[in-house]
Amino acid sequence: PMPTLRVTAHGLALEDVPLTTIAATYGTPCYVYSRTAIEEAFERYRTALPPERAEICYAVKANGNLSILRLLAARGAGFDIVSRGELERVLAAGGEAKRVVFSGVAKGAAEIRRALEVGIGVFNVESAAELTRIAHIAREMGRRAPVALRINPDVDPKTHPYISTGLKRNKFGIPVAEALALYRQAKSMPELELVGIACHIGSQLLDPSPLLEAAERVKDAVEQLERNGIALRHIDLGGGLGIRYRDETPPDIPAVLRALAERFADRPERLMFEPGRSLVGNAGLLLTRVEYLKHGEEQDFALVDAGMNDLMRPALYDAWHEIVPVVPRSGPVRRYDVVGPVCESSDFLGRGRELALEAGDLLAVLSAGAYGMAMSSNYNARPRPAEVLVEGATHRLIRAREPLEALWALEQ
């Protein structure tokens, strides 16, 4: 599933850097990302439609490392953020405030104030109460807040329930039926500037049809607004396009973008997309070392030095990540549960994997570039792993392994 992962005589390499070199230089566990893979994924989005037709705002939540934000900013990406922390990351990486979309259901007053102060591009508003709060803060600051309403199109994205967001029972967005009234209300507030409409139905979408269906609902809403004298500048169709982890057939990015743009061919508004996973997911892996093998009565275990705190997706969503030996060895293949050091039975990276292993072997957990490091924690007082970016034959540390003292630095 990873386009820049290579099999060489010395084992696996990401681009031209052997993973054994990474482990020897930076230790394990360690996230390793391919700059080329990220840039190629971004180029697929960027070149799918002419720039005046569409803007690509990277969803920072997928992986907020400053080096990754910086390289995307340099290629022309805008950013989709959900917190003040993500906003400050984007600014620290040299991203432009004007190109920032602020999503999220529970924006705090201080977050809104800071976003207005730096002049972000748009707030994707998720409720009437939030709209009122933004207007109130803008008035206090003597500013006009650019807003879009995020509508909930009530379509089933056919993905994992934890990452579905566009159904009526989800907490996200404003029901289509209520949108017109709220737009009218917003229009009457001088401290608000109505710039767009937004929707996002879920993540790891493999079938593009729910996206097209959501786009139809958004388009209906835009036309209804127009009939009511409300003109917008952009239409934000969210993110969510899925990637291959195992044997999925992911949607063809340029084809989906063009199919969506087709639906809006008769509309003057600029389109906007908020991809996260599909830009970085298959660009990164988690490198880990086998500490011990344990052959139980019922199950064989490979106990590795990365755990659920480093990569939470298997524990949280039962997500499947391919796990491959960095230097394959011959010898008996067993069905291993690949598990971490954390004191939980949900601490697994993969279960029932056919592998030939010895203690000390390196394993690569693939497609971990999105929602890997970003969702990591310090559970069990485990420092977060290092992050390394490779490009061609070069590699550099883009985040140091967390020092232990950092774990209690804020404590008494």
Contact residues for ligand LLP (CB under 6 A)? 59, 62, 80, 103, 163, 165, 200, 203-204, 238-240, 274-278, 313, 317, 371, 375
**Structural contact between residues 4 and 15, judged by C-beta atoms closer than 8 angstroms:** yes
CB of 172 to ligand LLP, least distance (A): 7
Closest CB 7 distance from ligand LLP, rounded Å = 27
- In the complex, least distance from residue 18 CB atom to ligand LLP, rounded to whole angstroms: 28
Confirm whether residue 344 is marked as ligand binding.
yes
> Could you tell me the smallest distance in angstroms from the CB atom of residue 301 to ligand LLP?
24
Is 64 assigned a ligand-binding role in the annotation? no
Give the shortest CB-116-to-ligand LLP separation in angstroms: 20
| Residue whose CB is less far from ligand LLP, 103 or 282 | 103
Is 121 part of any known ligand binding site? no
Q: Tell me the closest approach of the beta carbon of residue 210 to ligand LLP, in angstroms.
A: 13
Q: Is 254 assigned a ligand-binding role in the annotation?
A: no
- Catalytic status, residue 343: yes
Contact 348, 314 (CB under 8 A): yes
Residue 235 or 362 with smaller CB distance to ligand LLP: 235
Question: Residue 154 or 391: which CB sits closer to ligand LLP?
Answer: 154
Nearer to ligand LLP, 4 or 159 (CB): 159
Determine the Cα angle at 370 with ends 60 and 333, to 5°: 170
The least distance separating ligand LLP from the CB of residue 81, rounded to whole angstroms, comes to 10
Q: Which is nearer to ligand LLP, 11 or 238 (CB)?
A: 238
Nearest-10 crossing angle of helices 253-263, 209-227: 30
Q: What is the dihedral of CA 45, 47, 49, 53, to 10 degrees?
A: 90
Is 173 a known ligand-binding residue?
no
Q: Which residue, 26 or 245, is less far from ligand LLP as judged by CB?
A: 245
334 annotated as a binding-site residue: no
Among residues 30, 57, 199, 343, the one annotated as catalytic is: 343
**Nearest of 80, 93, 129, 94 to residue 108 by alpha carbon:** 129
The reply, when asked if residue 113 is annotated as ligand binding, is no
Nearest to 43 by CA among 247, 321, 283: 283
CB atoms within 10 A of CB 214: 25
Nearer to ligand LLP, 121 or 240 (CB): 240
Binding-site residue numbers are 240, 274-277, 313, 317, 344, 371
Instruction: Just list the catalytic residues.
Output: 343
Binding-site residue numbers for substrate are 277, 313, 317, 344, 371
